[in-house]
Amino acid sequence: MELKSLKRLLKEYPYMTEKIQGIKKEIEGYKEQAAALREVDSIILDGMPKAGVLSDPTARKAQKIVDDFDKRVEMLLDEIELIINEQQRFTDMLRRLSHDEYAVIEARYFKGLSWDFVPGEVKMSRSICFDVHNEVLFRMLQN
């Protein structure tokens, strides 16, 4: 992982649960639409052969859309799994930090404070904040 990616993920960390919930809502929407489209059925007229395949172009198109929805749902479920894995990995790393280390990361990334305000928030000098920050990021990049 690159430093830039690590910083981006740290900024996103507090919102990962919300992102998962949003994806779950999107999945539910796809499932509802798919259920409605599954009700579209081929109209079989009396006296016509009944081959057991969809002969109605509308029903075939509806089935294709349902199949596309199912693929999208699978992709979204994979995305949820990736987010959960990243969230767990970061949670484990954050638990290993000392109180001061966590305070610097929290102020900078979770609260979004600029470096002008981080030292006041964590009651450390600016140079110590940078040292702590850099040490934490270095250790996270090693994991």
What is the residue whose two structure tokens read 């052969």?
A: 49
Give 113-139 pLDDT, tens digit per residue.
999 999 999 999 999 999 999 999 999
Burial bucket for residue 76 (CB in 10 Å: 0-12, 13-18, 19+): middle
Which tokens is 142 given?
């090693």
Closest CA to 27 of 64, 84, 67, 70: 70
| Entry pTM | 0.72
61: left (phi over 0), alpha (psi -120 to 50) or beta: alpha
DSSP 8-state class, residue 51:
-
Confidence of residue 74 (pLDDT cuts 50, 70, 90): very high
How many other C-beta atoms can be found within 10 angstroms of the C-beta atom of residue 122? 22
What pLDDT shows up at residue 130? 96
Which tokens is 16 given?
């990962």
